[in-house]
Amino acid sequence: MASKSLRTAVITGANRGIGYYIAEGLAKVLPDFRIIITSRDKTRAEEAAAKIIANNPSAKDRILGFACDISDYATVTQLKDYIKENFGSIDILVNNAGVLSWEDLDAKDTEWVVTTNVLGTINITEELIPLLNPKGKIINLGSSAGSWGKFARVNKETCARLLDEKNTVEDLKSLANEFIKDVKEGNYAGKWCTQRSGYCFSKLMINIYSRNLSFRQDIKDKEIQVYSVCPGWCRTDMGGSDAKKSAEEGADTVVFLAGLLPFKVDEKYQGKFVRDREPAEWEFSPYPHDEPVYN
């Protein structure tokens, strides 16, 4: 077991792809950190940890694998209890875990994507916030696919509800469940955008949640940094082989924010959507493959 004197970073969904390279990158730039990498499968998490150590011997005893499915609340609480019992607190939370379906508003797939990407991310974050040390960091993997402009072009009233800066955690959960319900009942036309909307909606919600988190008094009181990051279109199991970036390149901005940016609130980045290490607009996506078809 790693020394308790080390600080702690948690990276969800880090057994492969972008998450793996985030973990490997932080192992290199944060020598005083233990890094807990999670996967739905404990064996895969432990295998990824062993691979990072094999590639970076100085990380021996600092990379730990743990089973956690962010869509399963029981495993989230198990992770929280494990951290609390063994280390007491964390300094960095990277919410990388997520899923993607290319099905056009298939009800089953939509529920799976939104439950995992939105509700799962919110739940694990809210569970771990009490363990975050002052000046800690929360980094959520958003996406330019979650640009709000595509929703505004369909229904400005719905978009205004989504973008309300006063939305609480419960408000955002309610909107996520409303979206799932509308898709199941076929009531989405004219209210939500259509093609690939489940995934796009989920990433829009992550961008919004990240921004609204930064406004919260409990986050301000502890001076916690919050960011939403677009890794770009990457060659991963989710992104496919035609993507322009490698998974390691996709991890770069997260490694920069988590490992290289000082542990103090920087208003340039706080609550912002960050792409290629710089705050970016997220009204419209810069990627043609993110553009949906509208009814």
Query: How many Å apart are CA 111 and CA 95, to the nearest integer?
Result: 19
Cα-based distances in Å from 79 to 12, 16, 41, 144, 185: 11, 19, 13, 29, 35
**Largest Cα–Cα separation, the chain:** 57
CA quadruple 112, 183, 119, 235: dihedral, nearest 10: 50
| 287 among known catalytic residues | no
CA nearest neighbour of 228 among 150, 151, 146, 283:
146
Given the residues 20, 188, 199, 227, the one annotated as active site = 199
Single-letter residue type at 218: D
Distances (CA, A) of 161 to 138, 148, 167, 215: 24, 11, 8, 17
DSSP assignments along 64-117, one per residue: EEEE--TT-HHHHHHHHHHHHHHTS-EEEEEE-------SSS-HHHHHHHHIII
Task: Please identify every residue annotated as catalytic.
Answer: 199
